[in-house]
Structure formats: structure tokens, C-alpha cells
């Protein structure tokens, strides 16, 4: 009791630091205590002797606590007195919450629909703004003052586009249109399209959508090699001046 009472409380900043501390404690205990059966050797000596016969390590153990949950109208699920956002398409549907030591993973029909760092507080709500992009199509004004979008740090080029569009009357709607391309084209592609528009001195949703559409188009197919037997003796020439000569002749 005296040892437990006077030993300073352990303070760590991360789970990795805690695991390192626990490993050191286990090794120290194994080196200081004898094996329960082979009393003439320590636990560590027996471990080293049997190490070659142990099953090889194949990866981290996927250990989690799974509980069923339902998605609320605000696109959130509740776990351990905290709320975590999920995609808006899962509203009203049953999901599975996989609680790991450091993160929360939400799955629906085996597919991951949300992932957050785990919070150990009480009454906290963790948002992922990308989960609410589909909702912005109906309420674009929420982009300015909606709770999921407060302190949202976008990629640099997208943030510049957002600031410039604030001066336009329909700036919020244009920005929502740009963000709506993120789930389909990918955030990296949208960021690159925004940067290309900025490099050209342009700032509008129509320009960025056009850039994304051109990048989605497949590359032109290679021209077919025409056999000599099918090659024309007099190939047509793309010269509009020939029509002018016909007009003058008439």
C-alpha cells in the first residue's frame, strides 16, 4: 500500500510513449524474476531460449470494441458520451461503431463511412466538414457559419478561391459547387484545378469545373497506320484559301 500510495502517477503524452514504458517494465520484470517452472533461470532467459519456436509476428492486432448505433438527423453517431460525424447519406440507418484505443471508425455494410480520432472528454462533437458537403447544396449559406465548417482549414489553393468568391453575390453557391466535386474527383484533383485557375488569373466555379472535366477526359487514341494500298493518291489539304479561289472563279 505504501508503494502504491507514494509512487508518482505516470504521465504520458501518447499511446506510443505508454507502450514503450510498458515494454520496459515487462522486460525489467522478466529479467528480475525466476521462471515458475525452470527456477534456475529467469523469465527473460527462458524467453530468449524459446524465441525461435514462437509464432512469427505478422502485424498489429486489430482490437476494437464494436457497438451498433443509429445515425441522427444531424449526421452524427453517439459513442461514450461524445458525437462523431458521418456522411449525410447514412442518416437514419444503422451502423457499427468500432472503438479503437486512439480512433473511432464507423462502418455501414462493411464499408467505412467515417473515421475520427477518439475523444475521451464528455459532450464533445467531432466534425468532418466533408461529411456535410452534400447538405450544402440545399443550404449554401451554412458554409459561412455552420458548426461543422467553423475553423475549417482547406488546402491552400481552395482557401484562396474561397476568399476571392466571398466578394461575389453567389460566392457561397459557387464554392459549394466546387466542394461538391471533392467526393468524385478527389480533393487532390480539386486542389490542382483551383491552383491552375489561380495561375491563369481566373476565379469561378465554371472555370474549375471545366478544368476538372478536361482532366477526366481520356487521352486521345493513337492514329491508325493506313496501309499503302488504301492510301489516297491526292490527300485532301486543310486549306480554306482554296474556297476563296473557287469564289473568285465563279
- The full 3-state SS of 67-110, as one line of letters, equals EEEECCCCCEEEECCEEEECCHHHCCCEEEEEECCCEEEEEECC
* Proportion of the chain above pLDDT 70, given as a percent: 98
Q: With 70 as the cut, is the pLDDT of residue 250 above it?
A: no
Which of 121, 118, 115 minimizes the C-alpha distance to 95? Answer: 115
- DSSP letter assigned to residue 165: H
**Tens of pLDDT, residues 50-97:** 988 988 888 777 889 999 999 999 899 999 999 999 998 888 889 999
Crossing angle for the helix pair 187-199 and 205-216, to the nearest 10 degrees: 120
Which of 176, 169, 172, 163 minimizes the C-alpha distance to 209? Answer: 176
> What pLDDT does residue 226 have?
80
Stated as kind and residue range, the H or E segment containing 153 is none
The gap between the terminal CA atoms of the chain, to the nearest Å, is 116
* Proportion of the chain above pLDDT 90, given as a percent: 42
Q: How far apart are CA 132 and CA 73, in angstroms?
A: 12
Q: What is the mean pLDDT of the chain?
A: 88
Amino acid at each position: 500500500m505504501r508503494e502504491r500510495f507514494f509512487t508518482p502517477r505516470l504521465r504520458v503524452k501518447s499511446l506510443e510513449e505508454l507502450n514503450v514504458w510498458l515494454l520496459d517494465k515487462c522486460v525489467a520484470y522478466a529479467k528480475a524474476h525466476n521462471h515458475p517452472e525452470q527456477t534456475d533461470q529467469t523469465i527473460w532467459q527462458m524467453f530468449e531460449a524459446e524465441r525461435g519456436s514462437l509464432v512469427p509476428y505478422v502485424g498489429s492486432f486489430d482490437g476494437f470494441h464494436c457497438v451498433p448505433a443509429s445515425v441522427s438527423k444531424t449526421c452524427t453517431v453517439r459513442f461514450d458520451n461524445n458525437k462523431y460525424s458521418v456522411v449525410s447519406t447514412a442518416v437514419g440507418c444503422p451502423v457499427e461503431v468500432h472503438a479503437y484505443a486512439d480512433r473511432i471508425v464507423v462502418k455501414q455494410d462493411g464499408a467505412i463511412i467515417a473515421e475520427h480520432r477518439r475523444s475521451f472528454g464528455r459532450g464533445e462533437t467531432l466534425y468532418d466538414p466533408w461529411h456535410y458537403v452534400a447538405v450544402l447544396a440545399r443550404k449554401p449559406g451554412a458554409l459561412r457559419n455552420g458548426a461543422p465548417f467553423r475553423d475549417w482549414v482547406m488546402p491552400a489553393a481552395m482557401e484562396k478561391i474561397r476568399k476571392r468568391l466571398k466578394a461575389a453575390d453567389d460566392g457561397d453557391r459557387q464554392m459549394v459547387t466546387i466542394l461538391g466535386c471533392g467526393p468524385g474527383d478527389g480533393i487532390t484533383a480539386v486542389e490542382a484545378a483551383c491552383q491552375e485557375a489561380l495561375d491563369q488569373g481566373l476565379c469561378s466555379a465554371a472555370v474549375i469545373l471545366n478544368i476538372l472535366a478536361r482532366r477526366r477526359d481520356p487521352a486521345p487514341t493513337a492514329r491508325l497506320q493506313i496501309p499503302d494500298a488504301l492510301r489516297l493518291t491526292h490527300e485532301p489539304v486543310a486549306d480554306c484559301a482554296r474556297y476563296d479561289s473557287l469564289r473568285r472563279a465563279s
